Structure 1
C-alpha cells in the first residue's frame, strides 16, 4: 500500500470508532429493553398461572367437601352444582323480546 491509501484510511477509521461505539450502546439499550419486556410478560404469565391454580384449588376443595362432609348423596350435590351453573349462565345474557314490544 502506498502512503496515499493509508492517508485516506486513517480518517475513515478515526470516524468509524465513535460510530461503532454509538451503535454498540444502542444495541445494549435495545437488549435491556427486550429483557425488561420479557420479564414483565413472564410476570404476567406467572400471575395468570397462579390465578388459574387458585381456581382449580377452589374447585378441588369444593369436591373434597362434597365427598367428605356429611353423608349426602354425591350425585345429588353434583346435579345441584350443574343446575346452579346453568342458572348462572342463563342470567349472563340479556333477553331480547323483540317480537313482544309495543309500538310507541
Structure 2
C-alpha cells in the first residue's frame, strides 16, 4: 500500500525537480546550443578561407600549366642558354 505521506513527498519532489530543470538544465542546454552555433560559424569561415586559398592556388597552377604548354620547348631552350651564359668560377 502507498503511504498517505508519500503522495505529498512525491508532489514536492516533482516540483523541486521542475524548478531545478528550469533553473539549471534549461540554461545549460541553451548555452550548449549557442556554443554549437558559434562553432559552426567558425568552421564555415575557415572553410571559406580554405576555399579561397584553394582557388588562388588553382589559378596559379593554371598559369604555370599555360606557361609550360605554350612555351614548353622554347622555354627549355632559353633555360639552356641561360645555363651556358653563366660565368664559370
Secondary structure of the corresponding residue to residue 30 of structure 2: helix
Q: Please, which of 3, 9, 12 is the counterpart of residue 7 of structure 1?
A: 12
Supply the RMSD in Å over aligned alpha carbons.
2.7
- Deviation of 1:81 (Å): 4.6
Distance in 2 (alpha carbons) for counterparts of 1:78 and 1:59? 14
Q: TM-score, normalised by structure 2?
A: 0.68
Unmatched 5+ stretches in structure 2: 83-89
Q: TM-score, normalised by structure 1?
A: 0.60
Moved more, 6-15 or 29-38: 6-15
Instruction: For 1:35-74, list aligned pairs within 5 A.
Output: 35-67=40-72, 74=73
Which protein has the bigger helix share? Answer: 2
